[in-house]
Amino acid sequence: MKTTNDCKQNKLAERVLVIGFLSATLGLAGCQQQEEGTAEKAGKKIDRATEKASQKIDAAKESLDQKTSEAGEYIDESADASREGLEKAGEKIDQTTEAAGKELESAKEALSEKAETTGAYIDDSMITAKVKAAFLADPLLKAFQIEVTTVDGIVKLSGTVDSEQSIGRAVELAKSQENVKSVATDLIVNVDSRSNE
């Protein structure tokens, strides 16, 4: 930008010099044809024209310097505003990233808890199925309707059987299954069950 301004100033100065030179040449030519008084007038006119041209050049140069300074200030202000905008955008990105990280962590914890709950439910269901299958495979217990429920590895038996021996056998068979922590029984001996046999 400064090179362009310098170039404009140089061209303006050249034009002023050419005008001054032409004026001087014409003035001298006019002076030779006229009396000495006329030559002095022409010289004064040339001097005034040269002075005015010099003033105009100085004013143009001053105006150009002022505009260059204003443009520089505007560029500096724009750069500062851009920097501030970028800093604010960076802060927002950091905040958004942090919030997303927290949400992701919460989601992981929730999934982990659900997975544990689901895993426990599946384990309990498997235990219940294994205990029921063992009862159906046992010749002594297969004839009875024994309800089996499992919660957190604790098996609960309910229903009716024909003897204390059947209750003991059911508890023993349930305890022998994998992942069973303990067995609670609400089995009842039904005397009518014995007489039906």
Q: Which CATH architecture has domain 138-195?
A: 2-Layer Sandwich (3.30)
CB 180 within 8 A of CB 157: no
166 or 78, greater pLDDT: 166
Confidence check: pLDDT of 5 > 70: no
What local confidence, expressed as pLDDT, does residue 197 receive?
Answer: 47
- Cα-Cα-Cα-Cα torsion 160, 161, 164, 170, nearest 10 degrees, comes to -100
Task: Tell me the CA distances in angstroms from 139 to 41, 70, 81, 98, 131, one per residue in order.
Answer: 146, 104, 88, 63, 14
Confidence check: pLDDT of 88 > 50: yes
What local confidence, expressed as pLDDT, does residue 32 receive?
Answer: 55
133 or 54, greater pLDDT: 133
pTM: 0.41
Alpha carbon distance 136, 118 (integer Å): 27
Task: Tell me the CA distances in angstroms from 73 to 50, 79, 126, one per residue in order.
Answer: 34, 10, 78
CB 151 within 8 A of CB 135: no
13 or 28, greater pLDDT: 13
Q: How many residues comprise the chain?
A: 197
